[in-house]
Amino acid sequence: MRISRNFGMMPIMTMSKACHLYGKSPAELVKVKEEQTEFGGYFIVNGIERCVRLLQVPRANHATSIQRSNYKNRGKLYTDLGVAIRCQRHNGDMSTITNTLHYLTTGGATLKFVARKQEFLLPLVLVMRALSGGDGSTRGHGITDEELYNRIVQGDESNTFVRARAELLLREAKQFNGMQTPEECLAFVGSRFRLMSMKANSTSDVEIGHYIINRYILIHLPSYGDKLEYTLFMLRKLYSFAAGDCGVDNADSLQNQEILLPGHLMCTFVKEKFDETLANIRLGLLKEMRMDYTKLLTSVPQVKFWTKCVDRYGMLSSGGIGKKVQHFLSTGNIISSTGLDLMQVSGYTIVAEKLNFLRFCAHFRSVHRGQFFMEMKTTAVRKLLPDQWGFLCPVHTPDGGPCGLLSHMALKCQCMAYPADAKDGEMQDLDELLISWGVTPAGTGGEGGDGRTISNFTNLPVMVNGRVVGGASVKLCKSIAFQLRSLKVQEKPTVPPTLEVAYIPPGMKGGPYPGLFLFTIAARVVRPVLQRATGRTEYIGPMEQPFMDIACLPEDIREGITTHQELDPANMLSLIASLTPFSDYNQSPRNMYQCQMGKQTMGTPCHSLPYRADNKMYKIQTPQAPLVQTAVHGEYKMDEYPNGTNAVVAVLSYTGFDMEDAMILNKSSYERGFGHASVYKTIKIRLCNKTKRVKIPPENEGDLPTFRHDPVYPHLDEDGLPRVGQWVEEGDALYCLADDDGNKGYPGKHKEKEKACVQTIRRLNTGGTSSASRGSKGTDDALSITLRFPRNPVIGDKFSSRHGQKGVLSILWPQTDMPFSESGISPDVIINPHAFPSRMTIGMLIESMAGKSGASHGMFQDATPFSFHESGDKIAVDYFGEQLQAAGYNYYGSEPLYSGVSGCLMHADLYIGVVFYQRLRHMVSDKYQVRATGTVNPLTRQPIKGRKKGGGIRLGEMERDSLLSHGTAFLLHDRLLNCSDRHIAYACRRCGDLLSPATERSTILSAGQKVSDATKHQLRVFCRNAKCCNAVRDESNDDAVQPIILPYVYRYLANELAAMNIKMKMNID
């Protein structure tokens, strides 16, 4: 019997093979109203583009030595030393399990694994004996203590440290007297994990033991023999680590990390959800069996019974697995029963913002260390390490909290999405190749103890993807690494071109554990370098790079030592960092700031803006291609999405308006469109909900909607919608809907304070998916209106150059008063000379020279980093200075300027040139905040924060001290009392209590008393304290209780202290 059930719809990544845009040419993409440069890689969830964030995780199938203090919390005999390996399952489903080998004070070791978020520890000898019997398909006779001792020591009888601990390890194993054979050990393991395995009662303990080992112990190796060999390798490394022969492997180093890719995360997540669904169905069937076994037997042959069970216990009615995947993509939160061997449960997806094209691209090249490390107080995880060279950009990381945790991949760095040995036979061919070169094989897979060759302790381990192939001498390992590199660049079928050949030679005491480690698995990062011996490009990984000699520049080459050379020194930078002109002349923090400000620029986010309905988008109206640009700028066609404007910039202190990074803008340049931009906001109106349904009034229903002839809505069209191009102001009707009967209109008003223009109107039809419109095919379910807000520069708006020189617009200066040169050129922007000395942005000065010479000769200038030298025959200042001299300008770009006010010559050579300026999205129109009194917190009665809520700006201690130092005490009194939480309270003059005074209750109106008389009656205020009960506020004693003005938060504090039995007393004069 076979039934087919739908477990949900899987989201489709854009531009993937399942996407309808896959394989379309740029012209075809434009035809379907998409970007011609669309590269996909994100999901569209609820109309929002979201991408799965790349995370740094421990390298798979590689054992690392770790020292952690919390290891001691495992038990009484545990130390802080261990060897951990993150195993990736060999069947290709990308699921992982972390196994840790803990070192004990007695010299023993235990193996830890995690199952269902619980940690379990197994004695290592017990595991090795269980592995020596084969995996069921192949049988082994087990392993004796003598064989185990020989394979641990490897003939190194002079190493007393390892010998003593091997003997102690075997001596402690004597407590397992009844578990000598592999079957007995497996039965012991199975008996302890029977409940967790959820196997049937008919399953034997040995079978459950096999299940535990196959599912949780070194899952990257299918053979028990390979598992045993790798367990011995981990034990030898653990003993070497404990003896101090090898050091701690840095978990924060890229050598020991890889990238968690979206497809791999989705694969493991979906697999777990399938397992959970099948387990729920299984438990449901067992429940049905316990309830009525006889009825179950009669229902089993029926298709209806199986369909009901799958739908009921598989929770398909609530969306099934597809709904869970959609929830993961929309929130970034993982709800997992196993934890998926990850260190965080949230923050996996982010919104792919299209603020500009640079920001959009940065999302797909960003790599995060993990949300767990954001809360750590130590800074070791944030440090820039040398082995990241060429893989992670040293410049492109944000300042502040995410600094050092959120990095970006370098320009030529690639992440392997698939294993390099995708073909089945390539791994076996690589093993045979290594053995043919002289590697002593570790033995045949799964034959047991006597089938394994005991390696010489002088041999180094040779490993392929975490599997011990054998051993070889130091000289042979070095020769094999050289031969493999030669075959890599020749594209031989046996050796993949992205094979990572990490030869770690034996070095000083406390260094890395030696060996020859080969990797072809997915999720590794690789980058190209030039192999000098063959002149071809070779892809290398971060684990092998520290042990190679790679020259950055030709003058760094050392003959006989240097084997590789960088293709381009600028390859160490990310895409956005490579766009900064002359970045090698700037102070490094300025380049970091530009990487962030380049992503905050109002530029050209896309060309399909008329067809998009994003919540908010920015667009500059007068973009230009920069005159000074790097090679990457042209290679990646950044002129298709320009982000700024070339401006004539003069460096002088002309007025007081250019102090503290402020800039003066030429008013005529502003009027010609300099920096003009627009903000596009889209509002969505739902036409139906659970209670009612409204609609857009059709034009042929006569006079039913009353708004048509209402003078309040003169600019609405016949369908109740505004006309495209219509300007609306605050309070104007933006639309008007009608109910199904057409008797009532539902107007919607423009709530923004800014004037806006109606750009686009869309009538959306979702196919009748909502409850109110189901069955009404062709009806409109929603309405979206896109408004365009003109945002021309105003005082306070932020600008910046491409060198981290940011500043705000201080004033629009008339061109008649601006300084001018001998050729009649007035600058567009004036900045203060004090912007340069402390920031040391020499690259901006060179860009000014280059832009000036480029504008004079009508050509673009190359500003690729490291293309010029500080000395010799290729100096940037001389190169552009000669061009300026040829155009008739000063060699260094300075000119005499004339004052626009007096017309007199300024007696100084002032620096003036062309610099590419960016307008940032930080605008006064979005951030201005004014408040006297307004909404307050109901508990403290102090102003709330938040611009949209009508809140105020925090006046803290530093601001208070500043006002006091200026002698403005009355202003401080107004801010902190009158406009904050001014409160009139009654306090008792006798006892000084603030909480005891109370107001008496209103007396009941007597017969014949007028209401007006009762209203005029003044209620008495008295102190409830027993000693002051007679002090009533009346004609005879009106000074016992007195009203005082104080901040309400004082009363709040008095209440809080009274709750702790602490009384506050006031002395009232």
Q: What is the pLDDT of residues 371-380, one digit of tens each?
A: 889 888 888 9
pLDDT at position 765: 75
Q: Do 86 and 58 contact (CB within 8 A), yes or no?
A: yes
Is residue 296 pLDDT above 60, yes or no? yes
Is residue 596 pLDDT above 90, yes or no? yes
How much of the chain, in percent, has pLDDT values that exceed 90?
65
Least confidently predicted of 351-365, 926-940, 1009-1023: 1009-1023
Q: Do 139 and 133 contact (CB within 8 A), yes or no?
A: yes
Q: What is the mean pLDDT of residues 329-348?
A: 93
Least confidently predicted of 186-200, 522-536, 768-782: 768-782
pLDDT at position 413: 96
Q: Do 541 and 278 contact (CB within 8 A), yes or no?
A: no
Query: Treating both helix axes as pointing N-terminal to C-terminal, what angle do 145-153 and 160-172 enclose, rounded to 10 degrees?
Result: 150
Is residue 721 pLDDT above 90, yes or no? no
Bridge-based pairing of strands 550-551 and 564-565 is parallel
Is residue 1019 pLDDT above 80, yes or no? no
Is residue 180 pLDDT above 70, yes or no? yes
Give CA angle at 150 (148, 151), nearest 5°: 65
Q: What is the mean pLDDT of residues 113-120?
A: 93
Q: What is the mean pLDDT of residues 297-325?
A: 81
Segment holding 292, helix H or strand E: none
Is residue 772 pLDDT above 70, yes or no? no
pLDDT at position 421: 66
Q: What is the mean pLDDT of residues 1008-1015?
A: 52
Segment holding 479, helix H or strand E: helix 474-489
Query: Treating both helix axes as pointing N-terminal to C-terminal, what angle do 205-216 and 124-131 enclose, rounded to 10 degrees?
Result: 100
Is residue 779 pLDDT above 80, yes or no? no
Q: How confident is the model at residue 290 (pLDDT cuts 50, 70, 90)?
A: confident
pLDDT at position 736: 84
What is the rounded distance in angstroms from the CA atom of residue 851 to the CA atom of residue 627? 6
Least confidently predicted of 21-35, 716-730, 1052-1066: 716-730
pLDDT at position 705: 47
Is residue 331 pLDDT above 70, yes or no? yes
Q: How confident is the model at residue 165 (pLDDT cuts 50, 70, 90)?
A: very high
Q: How confident is the prediction for the chain on average, in pLDDT?
A: 88
pLDDT at position 703: 46
What is the rounded distance in angstroms from the CA atom of residue 952 to the CA atom of residue 659? 28
pLDDT per residue over 662-715, tens digit each? 999 999 999 999 999 999 999 998 887 655 667 776 654 444 444 555 566 677
pLDDT at position 720: 82
Q: Is 127 helix (H, G, I), strand (E, B) or coil?
A: helix
Q: What is the mean pLDDT of residues 917-931?
A: 91
Q: Which of 460, 500, 463 is nearest to 476 (CA)?
A: 460
What is the rounded distance in angstroms from the CA atom of residue 737 to the CA atom of residue 740? 10
CA–CA distances in Å: residue 151 to residues 144, 148, 229, 369 = 11, 5, 9, 38
pLDDT at position 189: 93
Q: What is the mean pLDDT of residues 27-36?
A: 94
Least confidently predicted of 7-16, 36-45, 138-147, 696-705: 696-705
Write out the residue limits of the CATH 3.90.1110.10 domain(s) in the chain.
58-254
Is residue 562 pLDDT above 90, yes or no? yes
What is the rounded distance in angstroms from the CA atom of residue 354 to the CA atom of residue 44? 13
Least confidently predicted of 13-22, 347-356, 454-463: 454-463
Q: What is the mean pLDDT of residues 272-293?
A: 85
Q: How confident is the model at residue 871 (pLDDT cuts 50, 70, 90)?
A: confident
Q: What is the mean pLDDT of residues 310-321?
A: 80
Q: What is the mean pLDDT of residues 422-429?
A: 60
Q: Do 957 and 1014 contact (CB within 8 A), yes or no?
A: no
Is residue 756 pLDDT above 50, yes or no? yes
Is residue 974 pLDDT above 50, yes or no? yes
Give CA angle at 775 (773, 780), nearest 5°: 40
Write out the residue limits of the CATH 3.90.1800.10 domain(s) in the chain.
929-978
pLDDT at position 443: 56
How much of the chain, in percent, has pLDDT values that exceed 70?
90
pLDDT at position 142: 77
Is residue 472 pLDDT above 80, yes or no? yes
Write out the residue limits of the CATH 2.40.270.10 domain(s) in the chain.
577-676+795-919
CATH second-level architecture of 58-254?
Alpha-Beta Complex (3.90)
Q: How confident is the model at residue 1018 (pLDDT cuts 50, 70, 90)?
A: low
Per residue in 922-953, is it b (16+ CB within 10 Å) or e — as a string? bbeeeeeeeeeeeebeeebbbbeeeeeeebbe
pLDDT at position 451: 42
Is residue 774 pLDDT above 50, yes or no? no
- CATH of 929-978 given 3.90.1800.10, 3.30.365.10, 3.40.980.10, 1.10.2020.10: 3.90.1800.10
Least confidently predicted of 55-59, 92-96, 937-941, 993-997: 993-997
Q: What is the mean pLDDT of residues 570-592?
A: 95
The residue ranking higher by pLDDT, 1010 or 83, is 83
Write out the residue limits of the CATH 3.90.1070.20 domain(s) in the chain.
414-571
Q: Do 410 and 574 contact (CB within 8 A), yes or no?
A: yes
pLDDT at position 809: 96
Return all residues near 4 (Cβ < 8 A) that are at least 6 apart: none
pLDDT at position 932: 84
The residue ranking higher by pLDDT, 881 or 141, is 881
pLDDT at position 415: 96
Segment holding 564, helix H or strand E: strand 564-565
What is the rounded distance in angstroms from the CA atom of residue 22 to the CA atom of residue 26? 11
pLDDT at position 485: 94
Q: Which of 701, 730, 725 is nearest to 715 (CA)?
A: 725
pLDDT per residue over 1030-1046, tens digit each? 544 444 455 578 889 99
Q: Which fold has domain 414-571?
A: Hypothetical Protein Ta0175; Chain: A, domain 2 (3.90.1070)
Q: Which of 519, 501, 521 is nearest to 422 (CA)?
A: 521
pLDDT per residue over 799-856, tens digit each? 999 999 999 999 999 999 999 999 999 999 999 999 999 999 999 999 999 999 999 9
Q: Which of 890, 843, 845 is nearest to 867 (CA)?
A: 843
CATH second-level architecture of 677-771+782-791?
Beta Barrel (2.40)
**CATH class for domain 577-676+795-919?**
mainly beta
Least confidently predicted of 143-157, 217-231, 447-461, 902-916: 447-461
Q: How confident is the model at residue 993 (pLDDT cuts 50, 70, 90)?
A: confident
pLDDT at position 1010: 52
Write out the residue limits of the CATH 2.40.50.150 domain(s) in the chain.
677-771+782-791
Is residue 1001 pLDDT above 70, yes or no? no
